[in-house]
């Protein structure tokens, strides 16, 4: 059993690891989304920056951003020192705040900043995508525990 001194000594380390897990997931999703956007524009899949883009292309962007969000939340849960689902959901909450800020900032800027449904979809999808990323990690951890306990019983 851990003493009070050991718990207090490990607490700052856990806070730093938690913060690092969140920053890693956030950097992953922001960098990967930005690089993918740049590549889509550079290869002609998307039109030039700040010009009208069809709804179908925003749907494509929503699809790859959703996959990146799940991966980012999984990475955050994987790096978390404890409570992986909580860490994934916190990153999802950060995603809601960032998506809401972007939606508010571009709400009346015109179609070149995207249809309103796109920003709303980003806000609505962030929590379930975060949950899914965390759930994948929990399933993985439970499989390891089950496999380990099965090996001990043999």
HSE toward the beta carbon, residue 146, CA cutoff 13 A: 6
**DSSP labels for the chain?**
---HHHHHHHHHHHHHHHHHHHHHHHHHHHHHHHHHHHHHHHTTSS-STTS---HHHHHHHHHHHHHHHHHHHHHHHHH-SS-HHHHHHHHHHHHHHHHHHHHHHHTTS-GGG--HHHHHHHHHHHHHHHHHHHHHHHHHHHHHHHHHHHHHH-
As a whole number of angstroms, the distance between CA 119 and CA 100 comes to 7
Q: What is residue 146's predicted lDDT score, i.e. its pLDDT?
A: 83
Q: What is residue 4's predicted lDDT score, i.e. its pLDDT?
A: 54
State pLDDT tens for residues 44-84: 999 999 899 999 999 999 999 999 999 999 999 999 999 99
Q: What is residue 14's predicted lDDT score, i.e. its pLDDT?
A: 87
Q: What is residue 147's predicted lDDT score, i.e. its pLDDT?
A: 76
As a whole number of angstroms, the distance between CA 102 and CA 37 comes to 16
């Amino acid at each position: 059993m851990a003493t009070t001194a050991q718990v207090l000594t490990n607490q700052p380390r856990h806070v730093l690891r938690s913060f690092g897990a969140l920053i890693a997931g956030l950097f992953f999703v922001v960098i990967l989304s930005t690089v993918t956007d740049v590549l889509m524009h550079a290869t002609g899949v998307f039109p030039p920056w700040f010009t009208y883009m069809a709804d179908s292309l925003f749907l494509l962007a929503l699809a790859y951003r959703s996959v990146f969000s799940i991966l980012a939340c999984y990475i955050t849960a994987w790096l978390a020192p404890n409570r992986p689902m909580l860490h994934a959901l916190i990153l999802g909450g950060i995603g809601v705040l960032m998506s809401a800020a972007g939606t508010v900032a571009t709400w009346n800027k015109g179609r070149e900043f995207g249809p309103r449904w796109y920003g709303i979809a980003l806000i609505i999808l962030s929590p379930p995508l975060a949950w899914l990323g965390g759930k994948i990690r929990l399933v993985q951890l439970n499989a390891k525990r089950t496999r380990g306990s099965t090996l001990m019983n043999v």
